[in-house]
Amino acid sequence: MKKNNKKAEILFFIEHKDRELYSACAIANELKQNYNVSVKIVSMIFHLFILMIKERPKLIVLPYVKSEKNEVVQIFKALFGSRLLFVNLNYEQIINHHLKQFKKPKDEFAKKELIQFCWGSDFKQYYLNLNVKDSNIYVTGKPDNTILKKMKQNQQPDLKEKLSKQYEGLDLNKNWLFFPMADTFIFSPNNVKKNIKSGKWKRDILIGYRDYLFNSVNTIIDWLCKIENTEYSQNNVFIVRPHPAVAIEEYYKLFNEKLGHVPDFVFLSRYMTVKEWLLVCDKCYSNYSTVLLDALFINIPAYLIKVNSMPQFAEMDWFNNISNINNYEEFTSSILYSNEFVNSKLIDRYIDTEKDAIVETAMVLNKLISKKNYPKSTFSNKVICALKCYPIYLKSLIRIIFIKINFNIFLKNVKYDYFNKKEVTAILEQLPHD
């Protein structure tokens, strides 16, 4: 992509690099190629201080926002008032009852001003039931699914062979069983405290959820230890990938505590994204993740490992419409035999799979800014922002300084979500463009 000195019309904020960066680049590429719209892709955690000084976009895209108290919204509203638009991508839309309560729009800004993007009619109805302004809701499809589908269609036939040569432990002649783990609250007491303090979770509910995840992760590790030197491990590689916020070392500790070593048929991975692993795996297992639905979307057999008693609040509608594994015998059986693929109506309920979500999202974003001018900030706005928002931008400044000097005082793996312009450019150059 050619260098573009045009002022950014859209700021596209990223929270988790693995989850969001590729789709943001794909949408930005579509906007540039078909609408000549300039997009800057930036980090919510690290880039705020620089952005508030340099940028005055027409529109801001956020991965998730439920009120005017959002830090990005606070800063840019203090600078520009209502002269720019905010879009909520709603990165998590297939969620349990408790999170639906937490994610409800909390103020008039979220209900009447904020633009809401939904993957399908199910989440749109959720917003309509909460009195969100109908004209502010757009059904775009799910960008990640569109990307996954295109990646699958354009997949190089020798990709698996390349990976097996690149990473020791990935045997090309064996089945690759992928385990994206739901484990964020297990290994970080600080994360648990933070979520309780923020009001995202009630204490008793989060502790119950954490305990369930702890038991399910430990059960999976126990089963993997148990199949060592059996027929179930002979022709398979078990690829265990923690959540991006969890250090891979935690899993080395678990295996060492239980078995004294990591079995040679287990591949512990922080390499590649979930989407990339789905392209090359033969089956997908998880203790909670909606990645299972992504697997089914591209016809990969998927299994929900549902051990012990799942808390009622954590249950989701789709759990009963996917293959469940409740014990060791069912687990070993699933290794040898594949399940039937789920009815596509399950996925269609949550996601409009007919839409090309990259094209649709770019089209709507272009429509939203088509009659907008670059906003201007008055001197008084800047003073108000400096006084009102200084804790927010100071945090951002401190983070970026520590990143530059390689001094990591953050929570485990917060640094993992840092990215710079070179990484964005590298992804953009891989995408089709004129």
- DSSP letter for each residue of 226-277: HTTTSHHHHTEEEEEE--TTS-THHHHHHHHHHTSS--TTEEE--SS-HHHH
- Token pair, residue 177, equals 């069983």
CA–CA separation, 30 and 418 (whole Å): 24
The CATH number that domain 165-340 falls under is 3.40.50.2000
Say what angle helices 203-226 and 189-197 make with each other, to 10 degrees.
150
**Can 10-142+352-430 and 165-340 be said to share one CATH topology?**
yes
- Domain map (residue ranges) of the chain: 10-142+352-430, 165-340
Average pLDDT (34-38) is 95
Mean pLDDT of the chain: 87
pLDDT digits (tens, 9 = 90+) for 263-279: 999 999 888 889 889 99
pTM of the model as a whole: 0.86
CA–CA separation, 302 and 404 (whole Å): 41
Confidence of residue 81 (pLDDT cuts 50, 70, 90): confident
Q: Which residue has the higher pLDDT, 101 or 5?
A: 101
- Token pair, residue 233, equals 């491990």
Nearest C-alpha neighbor of 284 from the set 259, 302, 296, 298 = 302
Residue with tokens 């974003």: 365
pLDDT digits (tens, 9 = 90+) for 37-64: 999 999 887 777 777 777 889 999 999 9
The domain defined by 10-142+352-430 folds into: Rossmann fold (3.40.50)
- Token pair, residue 142, equals 């799910």
Give the per-residue pLDDT at 11.
95
